[in-house]
Amino acid sequence: MATPELLWKNGRFGQTSRRDAWWLPPASVLIGLSVFLVYANWAAWQNAHYTFGPYLSPFYSPELFGDSPHALFGPKPAWYPRFLPFSPALLILWIPGLFRLTCYYYRGAYYKAFWADPPACAVSEPRNVYLGERSLPLILQNSHRFFLRLSYPVWAFLAWDAIKSYRFSDGFGIGLGSLILTANVILLGGYVFGCHAFRHLIGGVYDRLAERPVRHKLYQCVSCLNGDHMKWAWSSLFSVGFADLYVRLCSMGIWTDWRIL
Amino acid sequence: MARPALFRIWRGNPEGGAFQDFKTEVDAGMVVLDAVHRIQAAQAPDLAVRWNCKAGKCGSCSAEINGMPRLMCMTRMGQLNLDMPVVIEPMHAFPLIRDLVTDVSWNFQVKKKIKKFKPRTPDAPDGTWRMRQADVDRVQEFRKCIECFLCQDVCHVLREHRKYDEFIGPRYFVYTAALEMHPLDTESRIAGLKNDHGVGYCNITTCCRQVCPESITITENAIIPLKERVVDEYFDPFRKLLRIIR
């Protein structure tokens, strides 16, 4: 099949007849993701101020090994290589990190924002070579569902942390931190369980889905969440960062946790 | 209320061309195609423009208006900033015939490469089938496509990277999804999608979904599910193992 002969040649980077502020969405994504990446990396390497009372920062949960009472298997194990820096967050944060990195929504957003591929719809690109997600390295994006499967238990631990955040030393109570951790779990749940890969695995894979009523119902629920996947992605990104910041500042004594009940 | 507006329209042929300015009055409720017709009637009778239904259903009047692929008949003048010239160009991803008319025949060649519908044996002795409405509804969305090819035009894999030989484009992923997810269909198009039709080239810009005049959720309901089916087949050993055990 012959390739069509085109009059229009690839333009200079950014060339377009568009009149709107096409650069604004990718610029916002660039700034938003960069701020989160810098903060999350800084917070993950601290190995301090990640708990406060019944609260555990979501960056450090589940705390497999560590010095806080939340640690599942006690302090840093003796077998842990001495040359490697230790932080409980580093043992776990790669799961949600890679889940977000390979997420269909984020892929589309960061290809535009960080790689200008394309910078925006109908805007010229800076390079002619294009491999897409067909060959290395981007063919690895097909591993998204593996990180989804690993994200279920991580989310379950965060849900358990949110429940535990209502159990203060003097009994049941509600602090502002409890509400922040609960909101975080809800937003993360909306993001994880509205994932495109989850939608496929739960029912999208079947052509005769209506013959499986439970899966069909679940597929409808997931589709409903999936329709706002971008909103869930951003709100949960913000909430997870803010929850860590809240616990950290309370732990450092800069903020005081407001005990509602 | 009538007001003057400046239109900057591409005039030319496959050898080349240039923008030409036209001033005309626009009235309340007019669409871009009305204005182009007014220019054609009064100032440029040789201006080539393809149109048919003027109701957003035939997909003939696809063009680029102020840089975005749109149907001229569905773009109201009220949506545009008339303090600046309205730029109208032909679709960039297809060969120009003249002025605003492009040759979209490549698309029809692509369609021939996709495996046809192959229904299972009939469910009833009278040669008919039984399907659940919910399963039909899922693929019904894809049948709204009017083949305006705006999604093909905006897709950077075709528009910028010219992968015409390796990539079938969003329109034909929608077409493939309509067949592949059909409750009666027994054919598999997964190997073709991966190897010949280049579904892996799609990097989920969602531009195709954004320009679709029929509001088909192209990326989320057609392309991503097809990508996931490719993952089922080629990149998920757990799932493959599960299928063998079952």
Quick one: B76 and B110 in the same domain? no
B84 touching chain A per CB within 8 A: yes
Q: Spell out which residues of chain A touch residue B134, defining contact as CB-CB under 8 Å.
A: 209-210, 216
Helix (H) or strand (E) holding B157: helix B156-159
* DSSP three-state, residue B104: coil
- Choose one of B47, B77, B102: the last residue of a domain: B102
Q: Quote the minimal CA–CA distance from A33 to chain B in Å.
A: 17
Q: CB pairs below 8 Å between A and B: how many?
A: 152
C-alpha–C-alpha distance, residues B141 and B217, integer Å: 8
The boundaries of the domain holding residue B115 are 105-239
In a domain, B161, yes or no: yes
Q: Do B66 and A19 touch (CB under 8 A)?
A: yes
Does the global pTM surpass 0.90? yes
Average pLDDT of the segment spanning A79-100 = 95
Quick one: B182 and B136 in the same domain? yes
The confidence band for B47, taking pLDDT boundaries of 50, 70 and 90, is: very high
C-alpha–C-alpha distance, residues A191 and B174, integer Å: 25
Residues 6+ apart with CB under 8 A from B174: B142, B145, B151, B216, B218, B222
Classify the phi-psi angles of B173: left when phi > 0, otherwise alpha if psi is within -120 to 50, otherwise beta.
Answer: alpha
pLDDT, averaged across chain B: 96
pLDDT, averaged across chain A: 95
Task: Give the residue from A52, A54, A49 showing the smallest Cα distance to A169.
Answer: A54
Q: Do A17 and B66 touch (CB under 8 A)?
A: yes
Residue A8 scores a pLDDT above 90? no
Residue A2 scores a pLDDT above 70? no
- Residues 143..162 of A with a Cβ closer than 8 Å to B: which? 143-145
Task: Give the residue from B167, B138, B18 showing the smallest Cα distance to A4.
Answer: B167
Average pLDDT of the segment spanning B115-132 = 96
Q: Do A18 and B225 touch (CB under 8 A)?
A: no
Q: Spell out which residues of chain A touch residue B93, defining contact as CB-CB under 8 Å.
A: 6, 8
Quick one: B58 and B71 in the same domain? yes
Residue A5 scores a pLDDT above 80? no
Q: For position A92, what pLDDT does the model report?
A: 96
In a domain, B43, yes or no: yes
The DSSP letter of residue A228 is T
B182 touching chain A per CB within 8 A: yes
Average pLDDT of the segment spanning A49-55 = 97
Q: Quote the minimal CA–CA distance from A212 to chain B in Å.
A: 11
In a domain, B153, yes or no: yes
Residue A87 scores a pLDDT above 80? yes
Contact yes or no for B186/B29 (Cβ under 8 A): no
Q: Give φ, ψ of A35 to 5 degrees.
A: -60, -45
- Residues 38..57 of A with a Cβ closer than 8 Å to B: which? none
Quick one: B232 and B127 in the same domain? yes
Q: Quote the minimal CA–CA distance from A122 to chain B in Å.
A: 6
C-alpha–C-alpha distance, residues B67 and A16, integer Å: 6
CA angle B99, B152, A138 (to 5 degrees): 140
Percentage of residues in chain B having pLDDT higher than 90 = 94
Average pLDDT of the segment spanning A73-80 = 93
Q: Spell out which residues of chain A touch residue B219, defining contact as CB-CB under 8 Å.
A: 108
Quick one: B86 and B190 in the same domain? no
**A8-17, A117-126, B17-26: range with lowest mean pLDDT:** A8-17
Quick one: B66 and B143 in the same domain? no
Quick one: B95 and B146 in the same domain? no
Parallel, antiparallel, or unpaired for β A167-168 and A171-172?
A: antiparallel
Q: Do A130 and B81 touch (CB under 8 A)?
A: no
Q: For position B107, what pLDDT does the model report?
A: 97
Contact yes or no for B183/B136 (Cβ under 8 A): yes
Residue A7 scores a pLDDT above 90? no
C-alpha–C-alpha distance, residues B224 and B200, integer Å: 10
The pLDDT tens digits for A190-219 are 999 999 999 999 999 999 999 999 999 999
The confidence band for B239, taking pLDDT boundaries of 50, 70 and 90, is: confident
Q: Spell out which residues of chain A touch residue B215, defining contact as CB-CB under 8 Å.
A: none
The pLDDT tens digits for A225-238 are 999 999 999 999 99
Q: Find the CATH number of the domain harbouring B145.
A: 1.10.1060.10
In a domain, B152, yes or no: yes
Interface test with B, best of A10, A107, A110, A142 (most B CBs within 10 A): A142
User: Rg (Cα) of chain B, in Å, rounded?
Assistant: 21
In this structure, how many other beta carbons lie within 10 angstroms of the beta carbon of residue B245? 6
* Cross-chain CB nearest to A17 (options B67, B106, B205): B67
The residue assigned the tokens 């409903």 is A224
Contact yes or no for B70/B151 (Cβ under 8 A): no
Residues 6+ apart with CB under 8 A from B176: B114, B168, B189, B193, B197, B222, B226
Q: For position B197, what pLDDT does the model report?
A: 97
Quick one: B208 and B139 in the same domain? yes
Interface test with B, best of A16, A19, A138 (most B CBs within 10 A): A19
- Residues 5..34 of B with a Cβ closer than 8 Å to A: which? 12, 14, 16-17
Residue B1 scores a pLDDT above 80? no
In a domain, B205, yes or no: yes
Q: Do B92 and A108 touch (CB under 8 A)?
A: no
- Tell me which chain A residue has its CA closest to the CA of residue B178: A207
Q: How many domains does chain B have?
A: 2
C-alpha–C-alpha distance, residues B97 and B12, integer Å: 8
Q: Spell out which residues of chain B touch residue A200, defining contact as CB-CB under 8 Å.
A: 224-225, 228-229
Q: Spell out which residues of chain B touch residue A122, defining contact as CB-CB under 8 Å.
A: 64, 67-69, 92, 154, 159, 207
Quick one: B12 and B76 in the same domain? yes
Q: Find the CATH number of the domain harbouring B73.
A: 3.10.20.30
In a domain, B246, yes or no: no
The pLDDT tens digits for A153-178 are 999 999 999 999 999 999 999 999 99
Which runs of E-coded beta strand occur in B84-232?
86-89, 96-98, 101-102
- Structure ipTM: 0.93
Helices (H), chain A: 24-46, 88-92, 94-101, 104-115, 144-164, 176-192, 196-199, 213-226, 229-251
* Cross-chain CB nearest to A205 (options B200, B202, B232): B232
- Choose one of B82, B102, B122: the last residue of a domain: B102
- In our burial notation (b when 16+ CB lie closer than 10 A, e otherwise), range A12-41 reads eeeebbbbeebeeebeebbeebeebeeebe
Residue A76 scores a pLDDT above 70? yes
In a domain, B245, yes or no: no
Beta strands across the sheet bearing B68-71: B16-26, B3-13, B86-89, B62-65, B68-71
C-alpha–C-alpha distance, residues B59 and B70, integer Å: 10
- Tell me which chain B residue has its CA closest to the CA of residue A106: B204
- Choose one of B72, B102, B132: the last residue of a domain: B102
Contact yes or no for B172/B197 (Cβ under 8 A): yes
Average pLDDT of the segment spanning A65-74 = 94
Quick one: B132 and B183 in the same domain? yes
Quick one: B109 and B230 in the same domain? yes
B215 touching chain A per CB within 8 A: no
Residue B23 scores a pLDDT above 70? yes
Quick one: B113 and B217 in the same domain? yes
* Cross-chain CB nearest to B203 (options A108, A201, A226): A108
Average pLDDT of the segment spanning A14-25 = 94
In a domain, B193, yes or no: yes
Residue A1 scores a pLDDT above 70? no
Q: Which amino acid is at A208?
A: R
